[in-house]
């Protein structure tokens, strides 16, 4: 199931969530209207409308800020990946100033690192994102710099710059790994889901004479809120799912080296 979810398009997966929610809400409305006539429901329209206005405003503010926050974290993750690709490209180019043996070893270590990230590490489950193979790849990368002969003044300058960039690469990498495991907490998801249920629940207390019109309005509101929650979930899981970020920038750098 996880493979299907990862490979499916966001349109398909969103419809799998939105359509059942619409059908369920319309079924509930049909059962309510079958048992309670619309004339009875109309007696409480004033109170229900006033209360729904307050609840709707509160929920829209919470949902709006959540979407903005999730989108901001999503954009930061993309920026980190671009920075990681650019730093790797700089390290690969700067290695050309070192002696031939050191240059070849450093570039090989960089290629091994990028190949491992785009072909294996990127697709690991979150609970396996920090594994022993990663440690070996990084140790080999550092070891390739330890063997550089810095007796030449020119090489020494470039070596210092390269070590700074290598430290920056590790920092960017850690930022990428942290964004992989950082999500909205259970309390926030409880607030979002319960708020949607409460908001939709108030709509069932309205009774329009035209039942089809009420069904249409319920379907629109439920579909929109469900899709918004799906969007928040997708943005919250930046590296997985149909909307997950793919290692395109790293792949382009790797192809350029090849």
- What does the pLDDT look like over 149-208, one tens digit per residue? 888 888 889 989 999 999 999 999 999 888 888 888 899 999 999 999 999 988 888 888
Q: What pLDDT does 106 receive?
A: 92
The string of pLDDT tens digits covering residues 45-97 is 888 888 888 888 999 999 999 999 999 999 999 999 999 999 999 999 998 89
Q: 232-235: long-range contacts at Cβ-Cβ below 8 A with a sequence spacing of 24 or more?
A: 232/63, 232/66, 232/67, 232/70, 232/184, 232/192, 234/10, 235/67, 235/70, 235/71, 235/73, 235/74
Q: What pLDDT does 177 receive?
A: 86
DSSP at 239: T
**Residues written for the chain:** 258
Q: Give the integer Cα–Cα distance in Å for 153 and 156.
A: 5
Q: Where does the pLDDT of residue 126 fall: very low under 50, low under 70, confident under 90, or very high at 90 and above?
A: low
Q: What pLDDT does 131 receive?
A: 64
The string of pLDDT tens digits covering residues 17-30 is 999 999 999 999 89
Q: What pLDDT does 4 receive?
A: 53
The string of pLDDT tens digits covering residues 88-111 is 999 999 988 988 888 999 999 999
Q: Where are the domains positioned within the chain?
A: 2-257
Q: Give the integer Cα–Cα distance in Å for 155 and 148.
A: 9
Q: 164-172: long-range contacts at Cβ-Cβ below 8 A with a sequence spacing of 24 or more?
A: 165/87, 165/90, 165/91, 165/94, 166/91, 166/141, 166/142, 168/87, 169/84, 169/87, 169/88, 169/91, 170/138, 172/80, 172/83, 172/84, 172/87
Q: What pLDDT does 3 receive?
A: 47
| Percentage above 90 pLDDT, the chain | 45
């Amino acid at each position: 199931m996880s493979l299907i979810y990862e490979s499916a398009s966001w349109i398909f997966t969103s419809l799998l969530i939105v359509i059942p929610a619409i059908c369920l809400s319309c079924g509930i409305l049909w059962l309510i209207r079958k048992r309670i006539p619309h004339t009875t429901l109309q007696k409480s329209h004033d109170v229900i409308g006033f209360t729904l206005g307050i609840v709707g405003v509160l929920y829209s503010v919470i949902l709006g800020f959540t979407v903005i926050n999730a989108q901001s974290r999503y954009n930061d993750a993309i920026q980190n990946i671009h920075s990681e690709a650019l730093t790797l490209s700089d390290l690969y180019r700067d290695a050309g100033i070192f002696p031939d043996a050191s240059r070849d070893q450093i570039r090989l270590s960089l290629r091994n690192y990028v190949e491992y990230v785009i072909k294996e590490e990127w697709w690991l489950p979150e609970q396996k994102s920090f594994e022993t193979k990663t440690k070996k790849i990084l140790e080999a990368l550092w070891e390739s710099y330890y063997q550089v002969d810095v007796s030449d003044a020119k090489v020494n300058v470039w070596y210092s710059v390269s070590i700074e960039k290598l430290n920056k690469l590790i920092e960017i990498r850690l930022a990428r790994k942290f964004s992989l495991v950082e999500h909205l907490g259970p309390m926030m998801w409880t607030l979002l889901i319960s708020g949607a249920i409460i908001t939709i629940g108030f709509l069932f207390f309205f009774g329009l004479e035209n039942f089809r019109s009420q069904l249409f309005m319920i379907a629109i509101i439920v579909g929109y809120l469900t899709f918004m929650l799906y969007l928040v979930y997708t943005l919250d899981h930046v590296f997985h799912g149909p909307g997950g970020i793919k290692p395109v920038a790293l792949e382009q750098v790797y192809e350029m080296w090849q």
